[in-house]
Amino acid sequence: MKARLPQGYGGSGAGNLQQLARQAQKMQDDMAQATEELNAKEYSATAGGGAVKVTVTGELLIKNIEISPEVVDPEDVEMLSDLVMASVNEALRMANTDKEETMEKISGGLNLGSMGMGGLF
C-alpha cells in the first residue's frame, strides 16, 4: 500500500527544501545583524541610589565605572564592593535579557540552542 501525503505536500520536496534553506539563511543573516547591533549597544545600571554607576557593552565588557566620592569610605570597603558588584550584575542582566528577547523575536521562539547563535551567549 502506498502512503498518501496531504494535498500540497507531494511532488515538490526539493522546492520545499530550498525554501526552508532560504528561510534558515535569512534567519541566520538577521541574527548576525542583530548580534552586531546588540554588541554596539551600552547598558548602564546604578546601585546605592546612584552612588555607583556601571556601563557595559553588548559584548558584556565593562566600559565604565563611576563612583561618587561620598561612598568611598576606607573603613567600609566591603559596602563599596557590594555596590559595584550589584551595578555590574544588573547591567550584565540587562544586556543578556535584551539579547535573549531580540533573538527570540528573530527565531520566532524556536529553541536553537547553540545552533546559529554564533557564540552569542
Structural domain total, the chain: 1
Task: For the full predicted model, state whether its pTM sits above 0.85.
Answer: no
Residue 34 inside a domain? The answer is: yes
Does residue 118 have a pLDDT over 90?
Answer: no
Residue 7 lies in a domain: no
Q: Which domain holds residue 63?
A: 14-107
CATH number, domain with residue 32? 3.30.1310.10
Q: Give the whole-angstrom CA distance, residue 20 versus residue 38.
A: 26
pLDDT for the residue numbered 12: 59
Contact 23, 59 (CB under 8 A): no
Q: Is residue 119 part of a domain?
A: no
Q: Summarize pLDDT for 50-109 with one digit per residue, the tens.
A: 999 999 999 999 999 999 999 999 999 999 999 999 999 999 999 999 999 999 998 887
Highest mean pLDDT among 4-18, 62-76, 107-121: 62-76
